[in-house]
Homo-oligomer: A and B are copies of this chain.
Amino acid sequence: MRLEFTPEEEAFRQEVRAFVEAELDPAIKAKVERGLRLEKADYVAWYTKLYEKGWITPGWPEDHGGPGWTPIQKYLFDEETLLGGAPRIIASGINMLGPVLIAFGTPEQKEKYLPAIRRSESWWAQGFSEPGAGSDLASMRTTAVREGNHYIVNGHKIWTSYAHFCDKLFCLVKTDKDAKPQEGISFLLMDLGTPGIEVRPIKLYEGGNDLNEVFLDNVRVPVENLVGEENKGWTYAKYLLGHERTGIAGIGASKQQLLRVKRLLAEQGLAADLHIQRRVTELEIELLALEATGLRILGENQIFSAPGAEASMLKVRGTELRQAIFELLYEVAGPAAIPFSEEAMFLEGEDPLIGDDERASLAANYLDSRKLSIYGGTNEVQRNVTAQMLLRG
C-alpha cells in the first residue's frame, strides 16, 4: 500500500494536465465548467486534439491504437481531463462499439470502422432500448429477417443518445422470434442514411435534446454488417456494458462540480454559511471515499463483500453523489434559479432578463442530473444485480 502515486504516475498526471491547459479551447472549457450546452463541433475539436496526441482511445488495446496505459494512468487521465474542464468522451463508437468490434468483429469490420471512430469522422449511435422495455433490455421487439444478402429490420429504438450527431447505428435486433428472452438476439451495424431509418429528437424537460427515437421501417442491412454470430448478440451487448470500468464512478466530474460549488459559494458571499459549508464537507468526504474505493479495486489481494459487483456499486454511489452535488449547486443558486430560458444554456445567451448569470443554468443542470440514476442500467437494476451476488448460494 502507498498513499502517494509513484513519481512516474505523478509525471504522467502533470503531462495530461499540461496538455489540457495548452490544448483545450477556453470557450469549450467555459461551457463545461458552467454546465452549458456543447455542440458536436466542440466535442470533435477536443477529440481531434486527443487523437493527434494518441490519447483518444485509452480503453483500446495498443495494436488498435490504444496508448497502453496502466489502469492508474487511465484513472489519472480521466480525472485530469475532467478536472481541467474537457468534454467527456460521449462517443459510443469509442466507449462501446470499438471494444466490441476489436473482440468480435471481422478483420474487414475492424479496418472499415475503427480508424474512422478514432478520427471522429464517424459517430455511432447505440440502438438498445425500446419503448415499454426500459431497463428490461431482453424483452426487445425490433426484428431482423434474413432476405438473401440482407437483413430486413423493423422496429423502434428509443433513448438513443446523440443520434443527431451520428452517421451510424449499432443495434440489437431479434433474429429468432421464438427464442427465449436474451436469446435469438443479434448485433447489427447500420448506416443512418439507409432508407427506412428516421431519427426523431426527444425534447427533454430541461430543454435538452441529447436523446432520440430511431424508427426502423423495412431497413435493408447487408449481412456483412452482422457482428459475430447470429443470435449471439446478447453476449456482445453484455461485454459492451461490462467493458467500461474505470470512470464509471465519475470521480473527475464530481471533483470538477465541487470546485464549481466552492467558486459559486465564494461569488455569492456564502462561504461563511456554516450549514452549507457542512454539506460541502460531507460531500467532499463521500467523494474521497468513493475515489479510494475506485482505486482500491485496482489493487491486488483485495477483500470485497460482493466480488463481481464492484462496478454496480461504484455506479450507484457515484451517480448518487453526483446528483447530490448538483442538488447542492442548485441550492447555491438560490432565487436566481427561478428565471430560465433555453438561451441560458448557451455561453453567449441572449435572454435579456437573465443576461450572463450562470445561476440560471443550475436548475437545468440539476434536472439533467436525474438521468444519472436512470441510464446505463437504473440504480434499481444495479442494486438488484448486487443483491443477487450477495444472496446467492
Interface residues of A (CB under 8 A from B): 274-275, 278
Closest to A275 in B: B278
Closest to A278 in B: B275
Measured in the bound complex, the distance between the Cα atoms of B168 and A28 in whole Å is 79
Q: Collect the chain B residues with CB atoms within 8 Å of residue A278's CB.
A: 275
4 residue pairs A–B, Cβ–Cβ below 8 Å: A274-B274, A274-B275, A275-B275, A275-B278
4 nearest interchain CB pairs? A274-B274, A275-B278, A274-B275, A275-B275
Copies in the complex: 2
Measured in the bound complex, the distance between the Cα atoms of B278 and A274 in whole Å is 11
Closest to A274 in B: B274
Q: In whole Å, how far is A323's beta carbon from the nearest beta carbon of chain B?
A: 21
Q: In whole Å, how far is A249's beta carbon from the nearest beta carbon of chain B?
A: 28
Q: Collect the chain B residues with CB atoms within 8 Å of residue A274's CB.
A: 274-275
Measured in the bound complex, the distance between the Cα atoms of B275 and A278 in whole Å is 8
Q: In whole Å, how far is A265's beta carbon from the nearest beta carbon of chain B?
A: 17
Q: Collect the chain B residues with CB atoms within 8 Å of residue A275's CB.
A: 274-275, 278
Measured in the bound complex, the distance between the Cα atoms of B274 and A275 in whole Å is 8
Measured in the bound complex, the distance between the Cα atoms of B28 and A122 in whole Å is 80
Measured in the bound complex, the distance between the Cα atoms of B302 and A217 in whole Å is 53
Measured in the bound complex, the distance between the Cα atoms of B274 and A278 in whole Å is 11
Q: In whole Å, how far is A258's beta carbon from the nearest beta carbon of chain B?
A: 20
Measured in the bound complex, the distance between the Cα atoms of B275 and A275 in whole Å is 7
Measured in the bound complex, the distance between the Cα atoms of B278 and A275 in whole Å is 8
Measured in the bound complex, the distance between the Cα atoms of B275 and A382 in whole Å is 34
Measured in the bound complex, the distance between the Cα atoms of B274 and A223 in whole Å is 68
Q: In whole Å, how far is A328's beta carbon from the nearest beta carbon of chain B?
A: 16
Q: In whole Å, how far is A331's beta carbon from the nearest beta carbon of chain B?
A: 15
Measured in the bound complex, the distance between the Cα atoms of B276 and A274 in whole Å is 12
Measured in the bound complex, the distance between the Cα atoms of B275 and A50 in whole Å is 46
Measured in the bound complex, the distance between the Cα atoms of B102 and A343 in whole Å is 71
Measured in the bound complex, the distance between the Cα atoms of B125 and A207 in whole Å is 63
Measured in the bound complex, the distance between the Cα atoms of B273 and A274 in whole Å is 11
Q: In whole Å, how far is A275's beta carbon from the nearest beta carbon of chain B?
A: 6
Q: In whole Å, how far is A222's beta carbon from the nearest beta carbon of chain B?
A: 48
Q: In whole Å, how far is A283's beta carbon from the nearest beta carbon of chain B?
A: 15
Measured in the bound complex, the distance between the Cα atoms of B274 and A144 in whole Å is 64
Q: In whole Å, how far is A274's beta carbon from the nearest beta carbon of chain B?
A: 5
Q: In whole Å, how far is A166's beta carbon from the nearest beta carbon of chain B?
A: 40
Q: In whole Å, how far is A380's beta carbon from the nearest beta carbon of chain B?
A: 16
Measured in the bound complex, the distance between the Cα atoms of B392 and A251 in whole Å is 42
Measured in the bound complex, the distance between the Cα atoms of B275 and A274 in whole Å is 8
Q: In whole Å, how far is A273's beta carbon from the nearest beta carbon of chain B?
A: 10
Q: In whole Å, how far is A175's beta carbon from the nearest beta carbon of chain B?
A: 37
